């Protein structure tokens, strides 16, 4: 009898909690946002929401304090000629390279943009003590969790050609 064995590992870079994230790419100047700056921004209270980062397992959090991503992006000056923003998109990149993509219009002209958050406190636990910091949530999706992200490291502003 002949037996073959094969082990395959799909481990990528490690997912490490982040202390800050960078907004870069097609912007007039790069912006770094740290935990203290996030905590000083206007926040909203979200109740009974899914904070899982997978659609396979829901994780309901009763109380979450969060900052709207739109309020952060509103402070960024994009490097674009007038009328070119329709061709812009944003890559949200985690510390392990996992990437989510949103169009400019999706963020700035739909309910999705009004429902994208960065968590600064979850169930009374401050962001600095959270293992999955910086946690990004998109709460308006029909299947929540699919576009939630742990350990946000970068937002790259891009322009489609």
pLDDT tens-digit map of 7-34: 444 455 778 999 999 999 999 999 999 9
In a domain, 8, yes or no: no
Query: Which is more confident, 12 or 159?
Result: 159
What is the count of structural domains for the chain? 1
Structural domain boundaries enclosing 105: 20-159
Rounded CA-CA distance 50/58 in Å is 6
Give, as one character, the DSSP assignment of residue 127: G
Q: Is this structure's pTM higher than 0.85? A: yes
The answer to the question of residue 124 being in a domain is yes
Assign 36 a pLDDT band (cuts: 50, 70, 90).
very high
What is the rounded CA–CA span in Å between residue 75 and residue 79? 13
Q: How far is CA 15 from the centre of its chain?
A: 14
In a domain, 10, yes or no: no
Any idea what the CATH number is for the domain that residue 123 is in?
3.90.420.10
Convert the pLDDT of each residue in 63-107 to its tens digit.
Answer: 999 999 999 999 999 999 878 999 999 999 999 999 999 999 999
Contacts of residue 24, Cβ cutoff 8 Å, sequence gap at least 6: 30, 31, 154, 155, 156, 157
Is residue 3's pLDDT more than 60?
Answer: no
In a domain, 7, yes or no: no
- At residue 17, the 3 state secondary structure works out as coil
Measure the CA angle with vertex 129, ends 126 and 132; round to 5°: 100
- Of 146, 134, 138, 161, nearest to 22 (Cα)? 134
Q: Which residues pair with 96 in a beta bridge?
A: none
């Amino acid at each position: 009898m002949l037996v073959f064995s094969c082990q395959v590992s799909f481990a990528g870079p490690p997912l490490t909690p982040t202390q800050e994230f960078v907004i870069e790419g097609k912007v007039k100047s790069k912006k770094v946002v740290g935990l203290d700056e996030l905590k000083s921004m206007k926040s909203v209270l979200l109740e009974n929401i899914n904070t899982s980062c997978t659609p396979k397992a829901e994780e309901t959090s009763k109380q979450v304090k969060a900052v709207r991503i739109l309020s952060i992006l509103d402070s960024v000056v994009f490097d674009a000629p007038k009328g070119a923003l329709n061709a812009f998109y944003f890559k949200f990149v985690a510390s392990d390279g996992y990437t989510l993509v949103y169009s400019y219009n999706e963020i700035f002209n739909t309910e999705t943009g009004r429902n994208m958050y960065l968590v600064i406190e979850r169930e009374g636990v401050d962001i600095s003590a959270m293992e999955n910091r910086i946690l990004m949530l998109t709460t308006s999706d029909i299947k929540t969790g699919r576009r939630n992200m742990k350990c946000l490291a970068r937002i790259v502003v891009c322009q489609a050609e």
